[in-house]
Amino acid sequence: MTRKTASTTTTDRRAMIDDLRERVESFAEDTDDATLAMITAQWDGYSPRNAMLIAMQCPGATDVSGYGQWRSRGRQVRKGEHGIAILAPAGHADDQVGDDGKVEKAGRQFFKAAYVFDVSQTDEIEGTS
């Protein structure tokens, strides 16, 4: 899987998202319903698809958050750790602003790769506790 860099093209990012979707679909097909239910329950707060992405990439994960969330919790992601790729909403095609000023979701939902880290990939920031 390709990590997003400044030189990553739109085509590369789309291929990475497609790869994640294919891998999670295959994971779901190869996993029994009881296990999928346990995974979804364990990662309450994440979509079922993202729960499966977490489980398949880091089966031993116990507590995951994004980089900024770990910092706000007094923890630092260790240098060199690789994130767990999940799919984050990135807007809709043809979003429109209604007369009331609210954005009306129209068209296809887009997603981007986002990364979370397990607590085992972090260390406590000294001076916080």
- HSE (side-chain half, CA atoms, 13 Å) at 48: 8
DSSP single-letter state for residue 108: -
Domain locations in the chain as residue ranges: 10-123
Residue 110: phi, psi to the nearest 5? -105, 150
Please, which contacts does 106-113 make with residues 24 or more away whose CB atoms are closer than 8 Å?
Answer: 111/17, 111/87, 112/13, 112/17, 112/87, 112/88, 113/4, 113/13, 113/16, 113/17, 113/20, 113/85, 113/86, 113/87, 113/88
Token pair 């807007």 is found at 91
Q: Note the pLDDT of residue 2.
A: 47
Instruction: Find tokens 């899987």 and name the residue.
Output: 1
pLDDT digits (tens, 9 = 90+) for 52-91: 999 999 999 999 999 999 999 999 999 999 999 999 988 7
| Comparison of pLDDT for 81 and 7, the residue scoring more | 81
For 19-42, how does the pLDDT look when each residue is reduced to its tens digit (9 = 90+)? 999 999 999 999 999 999 999 999
pLDDT per residue as tens digits for the range 103-125: 766 677 888 899 999 999 999 99
